[in-house]
Structure 1
């Protein structure tokens, strides 16, 4: 792509003014290759989805229930929650590995740990061994899940960054689909291989990553942060501009990355977890990120993700085959809506999707609760069937935003210097929310049945108010511009202007003078 192919969309439109409109993912071999490597990273989320769906379906199989003595209540909660407890153990280390040894190496470490854990889980001879292996799965998944989505967003071709990063969490359902239908098929095996086979297949994504991760390009942002600028330029040029290091898009991307990271280095020694909460911009980011982490698990979806069998039983659907069939169809439904929303991110915008999602969830959860009450009080079978319909509609609404956007929005609003640590806080929040759900939900459902749903209705009302007043629109911006947006329009505009000047006018890589650096840093980092 040469300068003559550049389409100018406006002086303030960042990277878009350097993007060739004739260059699309399907007609450029190098972008196709890059997207292929990105798929290898996206399957980290598939592994997570597989795990959640597998544990859901195993609860419906008599072979698993017999082998582990029909766990209920707090014991069942522990079997589900232990994976997230293992994740908590990995959180103190994950961001330091991602920033220290690189995104690729961190994904590889997580994949190796998960392979060992899956082998132990498949060979489990006791409840204790099964619990221990699931702890180890969560521990390994923490490393891969911290590094993989950041690498996706940092190597993507700029025009496709938002939908590709949004696909990360959306492909959670690809794993859940495989787990649901595998368990549906193995249900008819009359021994422990009915649950050991689904457990064994869980290791496939990790195996692929161990074998292929070293062919994936490393993050140009990480390379620049380590002083390997020339390698970063070569990576950007190879995948974004057919190897042309002088391409305006490559120069703009590099200079924008370089500008932000050079300024970050002024406080690099002080960048720790405390820095996430010491400035107004960062506090604003973290308030949104922590809230999204809780919202993603406390919107009522946690009931379905881990206790669908119990919900279906409560409305009179007790046949194991029917339960597994409903779960399998639901995962396909979810994948359709989540992927559709991922590709609509740049068209509809983040704010529209978040607000629409919460409104839809609230409406359909109210109807779900009413129908559950009608069945419980009157035995109305039509109301029971309506519950299933409203579960599907509820998930369609959930998938508009809380599947595709929670990861992509989190990584894009964080500056590079705190991205790994901020994303780690996000993952920690999700695990904490899940542990609470996995312990409390089965106990509450046993105790008060459908009345427990009222708690989620009240919570969804709070979510709607919070999302309405806090979510900032970020569509059409580069990764650096989006991160700077939370520090004010002046910071974003100055970053964009200086990157463009340096890319086109040959301004030196270092800031023009200390005064300018301090002024910019005050807005974008401090």
Structure 2
């Protein structure tokens, strides 16, 4: 059977909630403020991804860029968008081994270094081949950083803030989107190639910060324990979670739980290698959910607007590049606001409720967008065109309720430590495959069948709702071991509890307050 591990990244950890100092909050504790500053350094990895996802959409509104690269269309435009994800695919076989082998921090640094080289090449591109090669390299480097960064966020966070911070990771995709869109809007009025070279340079800013600062940040306590560096792991937990007090009950609970989960994983042969992802019923269910959510996040109609907003707007008669960029910039701010808002709802409203609400509303608004687009292309009329824009905004507000904040947060919280890097790599790989398909197919389909292509997504959204209704498991307000038990069963919970008790006994862990936390009524069933 697959060991449950310490599933991080989501629950309120009810089993040890009473051990947390209620006066220790992120805004009045110096150590927590410092910790969150380091977490921001890793969160901005998603900004790089968002920047890249929006950059080419904005470039398509720039005459200088269009003329420089001979107005790419159809499959040529599809390749331009897809090549970044092809680069990501090339790095996926290596990313989890670096994250688990040399550590989360070094992996982020390697990714940032590769991206910096790629951004220099892209900004200085003299021809189509150089631009394409640079975008491949951006995807290659981004994979390393994007595999390790969210793991660091979820494995370092103070328990109270773990779920919303992990949800913020993907929500900050839109911060990069905003910078890309508005910087391009600002440089649009330049009559030379710097109109697109300057936005290209700005893409490297997050990588610059990570390249310079990542070695000063803390490493994941879970990775440290897995490598036998338990003293360093305990010091890291104590420094940031308890003002340096290694005997703090919360720190001791977290430390003992991490040790127990990793030790339990080591004793189970099925947890070794890629086979572990499908070796047990619990892990197979995890992977089915993760792959499905990854596909849904890209195949819900959002890919049309994310990468081909310019083409969509042209199809409803909006041909002014200034108006196109303005709509894109406002949409980016709108998305960021909704995604950040939803990030702080996941522990109050719940994952299942957000997923189902999001999918139902997306189906409603995308269907309305389809009808209005068809009406415009058949009969014309400004009213229909304006309605399409309104429904695009409503569709994205619905998408941002779940598929921006939850897809990363839910994935990492249901994965036990022993398969977290590999499982998250599968998640990212699936997204890249879905994106490559979309980026090749969407421009061709839009050109050939126009609004009729939207009907495909309407049907797919209906399927998504049915799948999520029957498959998504609620993890709100569950402790880490209880989350694992939802997938691995009660035997897994008992095994973890026994491992914790054995470690406590061997190390004579007798702190009375911390000992209470392991009582059955507090979430661990012996």
Specify the alignment match of 1:62 in structure 2.
63
Specify the alignment match of 1:289 in structure 2.
290
2:297 is equivalent to residue 307 of structure 1: no
Unaligned runs of 5+ in 2: 1-12, 509-523
Task: Provide the C-alpha distance between the structure 2 equivalents of 1:446 and 1:86, rounded to a whole number of angstroms.
Answer: 26
2:187 is equivalent to residue 186 of structure 1: yes
Specify the alignment match of 2:399 in structure 1.
398
1:97-154: per-residue Cα shift (whole Å, max 9, x none)?
0000000000000000000000000010110000000000000000000000001000
Contact 2:271 2:419 in 1 (8 A): no
How much does 1:492 deviate? 3.4
Specify the alignment match of 2:356 in structure 1.
355
How much does 1:481 deviate? 4.3
In the TM superposition, 1:480-495 aligns within 5 A as 480-492=481-493, 495=496
Paired residue total: 498
Change (3 A) 1:480 1:154: farther
Contact 1:341 1:399 in 2 (8 A): yes
In the TM superposition, 1:66-77 aligns within 5 A as 66-77=67-78
Change (3 A) 1:386 1:66: same
Q: Following TM superposition, where does structure 1 have runs of at least 4 consecutive aligned residues deviating by more than 6 angstroms?
A: none
Change (3 A) 1:485 1:257: farther
Change (3 A) 1:226 1:385: same
- Give the TM-score normalised by structure 2: 0.92
How much does 1:494 deviate? 5.5
2:123 is equivalent to residue 122 of structure 1: yes
2:505 is equivalent to residue 507 of structure 1: yes
How much does 1:267 deviate? 3.5
Contact 1:268 1:417 in 2 (8 A): no
Contact 2:270 2:276 in 1 (8 A): no
Q: Which has the higher contact order (CA 8 A, sep 6+)?
A: 2
Contact 1:121 1:133 in 2 (8 A): yes
Specify the alignment match of 1:196 in structure 2.
197
Q: 2:401 is paired with a residue of what secondary structure? A: helix
Specify the alignment match of 1:316 in structure 2.
317
Specify the alignment match of 2:151 in structure 1.
150
How much does 1:278 deviate? 1.5
In the TM superposition, 1:69-468 aligns within 5 A as 69-267=70-268, 271-468=272-469
How much does 1:22 deviate? 2.2
1:297-356: per-residue Cα shift (whole Å, max 9, x none)?
000000000000000000000000000000000000000000000011110111111011
Q: 1:207 is paired with a residue of what secondary structure? A: helix
Contact 2:271 2:418 in 1 (8 A): no
Q: 1:326 is paired with a residue of what secondary structure? A: helix
How much does 1:269 deviate? 8.5
Task: Provide the C-alpha distance between the structure 1 equivalents of 2:196 and 2:481, rounded to a whole number of angstroms.
Answer: 46
Change (3 A) 1:38 1:467: same
How much does 1:64 deviate? 0.5
How much does 1:18 deviate? 1.2
Change (3 A) 1:132 1:509: farther
Change (3 A) 1:498 1:27: farther
How much does 1:17 deviate? 2.4
Change (3 A) 1:55 1:388: same
Change (3 A) 1:474 1:493: farther
Change (3 A) 1:465 1:273: same
Contact 1:97 1:106 in 2 (8 A): yes
How much does 1:495 deviate? 3.2
Q: 1:486 is paired with a residue of what secondary structure? A: helix
Contact 2:261 2:499 in 1 (8 A): no
How much does 1:479 deviate? 4.3
Task: Provide the C-alpha distance between the structure 2 equivalents of 1:33 and 1:502, rounded to a whole number of angstroms.
Answer: 34
How much does 1:16 deviate? 1.1
Contact 1:14 1:496 in 2 (8 A): no
1:181-234: per-residue Cα shift (whole Å, max 9, x none)?
000000000010000000011111001001010121100000000011111111
Q: Which moved more, 1:476-485 or 1:374-383?
A: 476-485
Task: Provide the C-alpha distance between the structure 1 equivalents of 2:437 and 2:246, rounded to a whole number of angstroms.
Answer: 50
Contact 1:485 1:491 in 2 (8 A): no
1:453-490: per-residue Cα shift (whole Å, max 9, x none)?
00000000010011111111112234454334311245
Contact 1:94 1:424 in 2 (8 A): yes
Contact 2:57 2:308 in 1 (8 A): yes
Q: 1:244 is paired with a residue of what secondary structure? A: coil
Contact 1:114 1:140 in 2 (8 A): yes
Task: Provide the C-alpha distance between the structure 2 equivalents of 1:132 and 1:117, rounded to a whole number of angstroms.
Answer: 8
1:163-182: per-residue Cα shift (whole Å, max 9, x none)?
00000000000000000000
Contact 1:357 1:401 in 2 (8 A): yes
Q: 1:507 is paired with a residue of what secondary structure? A: helix
Task: Provide the C-alpha distance between the structure 1 equivalents of 2:211 and 2:378, rounded to a whole number of angstroms.
Answer: 53
Change (3 A) 1:74 1:376: same
Task: Provide the C-alpha distance between the structure 2 equivalents of 1:233 and 1:102, rounded to a whole number of angstroms.
Answer: 17
Task: Provide the C-alpha distance between the structure 1 equivalents of 2:312 and 2:476, rounded to a whole number of angstroms.
Answer: 38
Change (3 A) 1:23 1:439: same
How much does 1:496 deviate? 5.3
Task: Provide the C-alpha distance between the structure 2 equivalents of 1:266 and 1:20, rounded to a whole number of angstroms.
Answer: 34
1:47-92: per-residue Cα shift (whole Å, max 9, x none)?
0000111111001111000000000000000000000000000000
Q: 1:253 is paired with a residue of what secondary structure? A: helix
